[in-house]
Amino acid sequence: MAALRYVAAMPRFAAIAPVFAVRDLDAALVHYGRLGFVTEPYPGAGYGIARRGDVVLHLVPIPDLDPLTSTSRAYLYVDDADALHAEWSMGVHGGSFVEPADTAHGFREGAHIDTDGNLLRYGSPLS
């Protein structure tokens, strides 16, 4: 007869915080502040946090980072991709912006690549 085993419930994930490499932490904190994030250096750790609503990004300085080879990416689900693009592309200098477009998978998506090569792709469901 097989022994009964207790199987614990699977742990629930509560959130995720992508870690983006940046060449200059202070400059990255300013940049993400201009994108509407509340930013703060993590005291004594050479590390930063950028928070907007429920989205949290961790920023870690890598002084010899090559932005052309960065592979850090995050996808942000937003209410209105066009409104976010308008907010970000007006008055935010540095990096590059991709205007939102409709996709075959039912989202309107745009993107921002920061000056360190980190990609923030964002999208809202099509009506």
Q: What is the pTM of this model?
A: 0.87
pLDDT score of 1 more than 80: no
Whether 77 shows a pLDDT value over 90: the answer reads yes
Q: Is 67 exposed, middle or buried (0-12, 13-18, 19+ CB in 10 A)?
A: middle
Higher pLDDT, 3 or 105: 105
How many Cα atoms within 13 Å fall on the side-chain side of residue 10?
3
Mean pLDDT of 97-126: 96
Residue 55: its pLDDT value, please? 95
Average pLDDT across the chain, whole number: 92
Q: Where are the domains of the chain?
A: 19-63+71-125
Residue range 9-68, pLDDT digits in tens: 888 888 899 999 999 999 999 999 999 999 999 888 789 999 999 999 999 999 899 999
Contacts of 123 (CB under 8 A, 6+ apart): 75, 76, 77, 78, 81, 100, 103, 107, 108, 109, 110
**Opening angle at CA 121, ends 14 and 40, nearest 5:** 60
- CATH domain 19-63+71-125 topology: 2,3-Dihydroxybiphenyl 1,2-Dioxygenase; domain 1 (3.10.180)
| The pLDDT of residue 5 is above 80 | no
Q: What confidence score (pLDDT) does residue 7 get?
A: 65
pLDDT score for 43? 80
The C-alpha atoms of residue 47 and residue 21 are separated, in whole angstroms, by 10
